[in-house]
Amino acid sequence: MRGLIVGRFQPFHNGHLMLIKHVLDECNEIIIAIASAQFNYLLKDPFTAGERVEMIHNALKDADIDLARCYIIPIINDENNARWFLHLRSYLPKFDIVYSGNEYVRMLLADYVKVSDVRFYDREKYNASRIRELMINDGEWRALVPRSVYEFINRIDGVKRLKIIANAESKPQEW
């Protein structure tokens, strides 16, 4: 059986890693779909799709997860939510079940595929919006992400990037 998770992973954090381990306990393979792949250098989406692929790949490798069981695939958004599932299917290998803690995602997909309602792991703590806010405000975020993600963000000056984006006079457009 092949499971699917969809997320922006901005950044990839320990809650995401716990979810992936859970899915791999139930499925032979996992597809990790990186949503909003076309967005980057934005407050909500500071990292490129390629950077997110690298973060996830390194975190899985460091967690001793068999990468042969994992597909990491960036997905460009489709602004038409009614056709979103068909859009997903065109980008991804076949999947049997979607794991999501997002009620909206479950609603969009429920007519097309089996959906497992998963509870986020300590969502108050492991929340990418909160982690980005901590990064901008020099808070303690290191323990919230895998070591390799922390190192990667430091290597690309990701915190500096976020601070510049947060203080930009003119906000970039998403569309």
Q: What is the pLDDT of residue 169?
A: 62
pLDDT along the chain (175 residues), means of 10: 96 96 97 96 97 99 98 92 85 94 84 84 84 97 98 98 87 58
**pTM, to two decimals:** 0.92
Q: What is the pLDDT of residue 108?
A: 84
Burial code (b: 16+ CB inside 10 Å, e: under 16) for 7-35 equals bbbbbbbbbbbbbbebbbeebebbbbbbb
Q: What is the pLDDT of residue 112?
A: 87
CATH topology of domain 2-166: Rossmann fold (3.40.50)
